[in-house]
């Protein structure tokens, strides 16, 4: 959502002359670049538990972060007040990184992205602003979710549904003279259900999240959440642990994109490579996997959690091909790493809030579709595992060792899905796993879950993948 510039200047109580003065103050002790990041976030939430919406709240987070760069070094400070004196003090604190005592705006190594934010090119247009309606308007949606899931399956014992939403006004200004502004919406629904079958208890959690307004709430979303909440419920009660060890892993389309996020995406973030600590640090331009594989990090998917008109450094959101038909073609850059490598930033400079300096982060990371039929991929596996529901993942950047936690899946025996499995961790090595992808399906799905990446700071992301087969990973079991 992009409103008039005057709206943003007014909210933060600033004008363009003051912004310029603050940047000059930030560079008064030296440094080559400075930027300001103003944020005004209004957050609301409602909780349905035990059949009633009895908890709700709203939260306001407001402030400005000021950053000074001297070479690749960062000085950062923030203020929760935009009073002139508070911001000047903040700028002086950020300037502490600089030691040259002489400001030199280095346009040669800092790309400028001039132009005015364009509402017609907005990647998260809003039909119904969250703040335009009272919270009571959202209560029926949560009640409908509760009723529909209970109607679908009598085994529901407890259900918690949480609706949370936010609108974040952002104003950015930097020493290149660029001024950018926009409002970033986000709506999330998370549903946790506890089921009882005899003496056995099982749980399931489902979520949906988009950068959009309150128009996301409606009967189709109720149905989608209910479908997901009771999906494979019988299998969940029958599920066991496989015999652990190395085996072929078929990863279903959609949320299996966590493989890309953990095993590859983090290792492609340029700060790790700039510091030489990524396992892919010396692989640019080299073939790292089959030419069936193209991996993208994309900020242009309309309404996606990872969509960005601008990143948090004012760089336009864009689509970045990291692996082009098997060849490592680009890292994910913020302004610091882009200057280091002598390339343009890729719009991946992101931050959790004004309290943090931006660093290279993923947006929506996915693999493009291949040619294989997903059913044929499964049919080709003699013994292995099929997984398509996940909870979380992690990676060690230097070693490339990654893990992800599988909530549900199936054994594959002689090309057929057999015993349901759940609650197992899978571990592998990023470059090896990438090389071991031997089949890519034709069924790319971008996952709609509420994915959050926690690299130093929490930012919303998403992921996607077509059905793929990894020849060998280590699967937890008994």
Partner 1 sequence: MEFALRSGADAVRITLNKNLTDLVGILNGEVDKVSHSLDRSLQIALFVDGRYGAFSSNRLEKSKLEEFVLGAIGTVKMLEEDKFRKLPEAERKVKGVSTGMEPGLYDPACLDVDETFRRKMAMDLSLWKEKESLEKGFTILSEEAEYSDSVSDLVVMDSDGLYARHCETAFEIVSEFTIADPDGRLFSGYWWDSSWRLAGVDPSACARKALERTVEQMNPMAMPGGKYSVVVDSECASRLLSPVLSALGGFAVQQNNSFLADDLGRKVFAEKMTLVDLPLEKGATGARLFDSEGVATREMPVIDHGVVKTFFLNTYIAGKMGMEPTVEDSTRVKLMPVGECRDIAGLMAAVGEGILITGFNGGNSNAATGDFSYGIEGFYFRDGRIVHPVRELLMTGNFKTLWNSLSLVADDARPCLVKQIPSLVFSSADMSA
**Which residues from 260-289 bind partner 1, rule CB under 8 A?**
262, 275-277, 279
Identify which of residues 385 and 446 has a Cβ nearer to partner 1 in the complex: 385
Task: Lay out the site mask for partner 1 across 224-253 (x = CB under 8 A, - = otherwise).
Answer: -----------------x--xxx-------
CA distance 111 to 260: 29
Q: How far is the CB of 45 from partner 1 (least distance, A)?
A: 9
**Which residues from 341-360 bind partner 1, rule CB under 8 A?**
355, 357
472 touches partner 1 (CB under 8 A):
no
Identify which of residues 90 and 179 has a Cβ nearer to partner 1 in the complex: 90
**Which residues from 373-402 bind partner 1, rule CB under 8 A?**
391-394, 396-402
For the four alpha carbons of 144, 145, 148 and 151, in that order, the dihedral sign comes to negative
423 touches partner 1 (CB under 8 A):
yes
Identify which of residues 29 and 363 has a Cβ nearer to partner 1 in the complex: 29
Q: Which residues contact 258 (CB under 8 A, 6 or more apart)?
A: 390, 393, 404, 451, 463
Count of Cβ atoms closer than 10 Å to residue 375 Cβ: 12
259 touches partner 1 (CB under 8 A):
no
Reduce the DSSP state of residue 359 to 3 states and report it.
strand
Query: Which helix (H) or strand (E) is 77 found in, with range?
Result: strand 73-79
Strand partners, 408: 389
Q: Which candidate, 189, 164, 232, 162, places its Cα nearest to that of 419?
A: 232
420 touches partner 1 (CB under 8 A):
no
Question: Residue from 2, 22, 36, 53 that binds partner 1 (CB under 8 A)?
Answer: 53
15 touches partner 1 (CB under 8 A):
no
Identify which of residues 210 and 402 has a Cβ nearer to partner 1 in the complex: 402
Helix%, strand%, coil% for the chain, nearest 5: 25, 40, 35
DSSP state of 79: E
How many residues bind partner 1 (CB under 8 A)? The answer is 80
Identify which of residues 79 and 188 has a Cβ nearer to partner 1 in the complex: 79
Residues 410, 386: contact at Cβ < 8 Å? yes
Specify the residue for token string 């300037």: 95
**Which residues from 90-129 bind partner 1, rule CB under 8 A?**
90, 93-94, 96-97
Identify which of residues 61 and 122 has a Cβ nearer to partner 1 in the complex: 61
């Amino acid at each position: 959502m992009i409103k008039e510039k005057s709206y943003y200047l007014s909210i933060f109580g600033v004008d363009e002359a003051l912004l310029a003065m603050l940047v000059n103050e930030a560079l008064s002790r030296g440094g080559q670049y400075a930027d300001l990041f103003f944020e005004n976030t209004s957050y609301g939430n409602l909780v349905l538990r035990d059949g009633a919406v009895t908890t709700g709240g709203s939260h306001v987070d407001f402030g400005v972060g000021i950053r000074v760069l001297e070479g690749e070094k960062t000085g950062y400070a923030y203020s929760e007040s935009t009073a002139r004196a508070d911001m000047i003090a903040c700028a002086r604190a950020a300037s502490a990184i600089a030691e040259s005592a002489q400001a030199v705006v280095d346009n040669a190594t800092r790309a400028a992205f001039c132009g005015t934010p364009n509402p017609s090119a907005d990647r998260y247009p809003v039909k119904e602003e969250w703040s335009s309606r009272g919270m009571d308007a959202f209560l029926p949606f949560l009640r409908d979710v509760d009723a529909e899931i209970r109607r679908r399956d009598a085994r529901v014992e407890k259900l918690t549904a949480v609706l949370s939403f936010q609108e974040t006004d952002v104003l950015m200004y930097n020493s290149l003279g660029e001024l950018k502004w926009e409002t970033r919406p986000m709506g999330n629904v998370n549903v946790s259900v506890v089921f009882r079958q005899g003496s056995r208890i099982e749980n399931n959690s489902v979520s949906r999240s988009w950068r959009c307004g309150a128009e996301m709430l409606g009967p189709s979303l109720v149905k989608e959440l209910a479908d997901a909440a009771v999906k494979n419920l019988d299998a969940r009660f029958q599920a066991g642990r496989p015999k652990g060890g190395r085996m072929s892993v078929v990863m279903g389309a959609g949320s299996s994109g966590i493989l890309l996020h953990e095993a590859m995406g983090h290792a492609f973030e340029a700060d790790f490579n700039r510091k030489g600590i990524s396992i892919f640090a010396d692989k640019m331009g080299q073939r790292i996997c089959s030419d069936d594989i193209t991996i993208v990090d994309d900020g242009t998917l309309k309404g996606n959690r990872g969509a960005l008109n601008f990143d948090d450094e004012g760089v336009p959101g864009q689509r970045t091909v990291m692996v082009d038909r098997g060849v490592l073609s680009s890292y994910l850059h913020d302004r610091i790493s882009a200057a280091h490598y002598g390339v343009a930033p890729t719009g991946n400079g992101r931050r959790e809030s004004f309290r943090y300096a931006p660093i290279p982060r993923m947006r929506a990371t996915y693999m493009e579709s291949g040619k294989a039929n997903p059913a044929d991929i499964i049919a080709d596996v003699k013994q292995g595992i099929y997984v398509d529901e996940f909870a979380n993942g992690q990676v060690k950047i230097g070693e490339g060792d990654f893990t992800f936690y599988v909530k549900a899946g199936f054994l594959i025996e002689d090309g057929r899905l057999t015993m349901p499995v759940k609650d197992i961790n899978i571990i592998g090595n990023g470059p090896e796993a990438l090389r071991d992808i031997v089949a890519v399906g034709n069924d790319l799905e971008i996952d709609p879950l509420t994915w959050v990446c926690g690299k130093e700071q929490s930012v919303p992301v998403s992921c996607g993948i077509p059905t793929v087969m990894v020849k060998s990973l280590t699967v937890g079991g008994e």
